[in-house]
Structure 1
């Protein structure tokens, strides 16, 4: 490892599993002090334990990203002790279930908007406050290839993911004068617990839609997060980067 993030602090929402956990592990392996946040304490403790077992530094804070007070406190916890937040990955999210628009559950849509849109907005709100005060930082938002194209049966999900991309672009413009970069990663199908819950027929159909012929592993998405967070991407802001095996290619 290059230890490219030695001395830096990182904050990861949804850090208890999947892409969030893989990204937290990768950031810590590169030297960052990582604070993972989420709603389930035992999965967060597992992530911290894995990081520490590998020789990294981590801590966790239980927080619901739809609760503004909890988000503010979580960001403060991530900056505690060092007084700065260098990297933030807003990964907490909800994909819901396959339902045609005519049958779409309004309750599911409301929950999706609360977690995906409100949760990401609140996270960026307090991350930006800290980063503007220090005059630097990198925010990566975990959107989806579904925010770039239409996906039948997931109209609510695609709407929230497109909203995440729009928020990313707007906040990137706000952050640029302060030395803050804001980008989004747009994965295709990834081998995570969320995907594991989909019906097998649907999983197979979605996998076949990826021109590379397979789904991604969480570490492959984490690699994109590392790159966008690093000095190698110092002149990149406001993008929505597809990491989707060609899924969103027209």
Structure 2
């Protein structure tokens, strides 16, 4: 285990699965004390158990990013907060609809989770970091926050909003010793992506990525760790594509 993050603490929303879990494992392997949050205690416990089995330190806090009091309590429970990684989110699934036919309830749900939930998480993370005078936040966005994607208006709108929040907060808090960035993944092998999708659909999605394959969650986590770390000390306000070339087409 590397000592790079010894004495550092991290809070990871959506830490029970996918990119959130991979990031928790990566930060813990570098010596960080990781708190994973989410709505499902069983998956959070799996993350904590995996970290502890590898010799790392982790804890869990059940919280829902759409509930402001829940978010406030989760952040307050961490005490010192070096890194905030906001990975909680929903893709909305594969029922593609052009905007005029897009269900209003789906739009509202995605904005509530992917945008408002991110706003609430950042709000309380930034309050804690402002008191400390230091910190690094990394938001897990999407390539759909950088380019248009047909049929998923709610997801695209929420993820574009996430990039906007990242940039606004980076400017608000640069003078306070706080950096705020985002990663914009392409297609990643997570339970959210793989569940219920046909081989034909997955093949088409993969073909849209010039690198020619799906990403592993650990590859996105590597980028998140870099943006958390002092190795990116002069970087703030960016949305870093980690997408196999998807957004360069």
Please classify the TM superposition score into its range, dividing by the shorter chain length: over 0.9
1:12 Cα deviation from its structure 2 partner: 0.1
State the partner residue of 2:97. Answer: 100
SS in 1 for 2:183: strand
**TM-fit CA distance, 1:103:** 2.5
1:165 counterpart residue number? 163
1:215 corresponding residue in structure 2 = 214
In 2, Cα distance between equivalents of 1:164 and 1:15? 18
Per-residue CA deviation, residues 46-84 of structure 1 (Å, 9 max, x unaligned), is 1000000000000000000000000000001122xxxx1
Structure 1 residue ranges, 4+ long, deviating more than 3 angstroms after superposition = none
What is the TM-score normalised by the length of structure 2? 0.97
For structure 1, list consecutive stretches of 5 or more residues without a partner in the other structure. none
Distance in 2 between residues matched to 1:129 and 1:117, nearest whole Å: 18
Q: Map 1:49-60; keep pairs closer than 5 Å.
A: 49-60=49-60
CA contact (8 A) 2:107 2:153 kept: no
Report what 2:83 is aligned to.
87
Q: Distance in 1 between matches of 2:242 and 2:34?
A: 23
SS of 1:177 mapped into structure 2:
helix
Two-structure CA RMSD over aligned residues (Å): 0.9
Cα separation, 2, equivalents of 1:13 and 1:226 = 15
Give the CA deviation at 1:155: 1.5
Residues 145-224 of structure 1 mapped to structure 2, 5 A cutoff: 145-200=143-198, 201-224=200-223
State the TM-score, normalizing by the size of structure 1.
Answer: 0.96
Equivalent residue, structure 1, for 2:69 = 69
Distance in 2 (CA, whole Å) between partners of 1:145 and 1:3 is 32
Give the distance between the partners of 1:199 and 1:131, measured in 2 at CA.
Answer: 40
The whole-number CA distance in structure 2 between the counterparts of 1:3 and 1:245 is 30
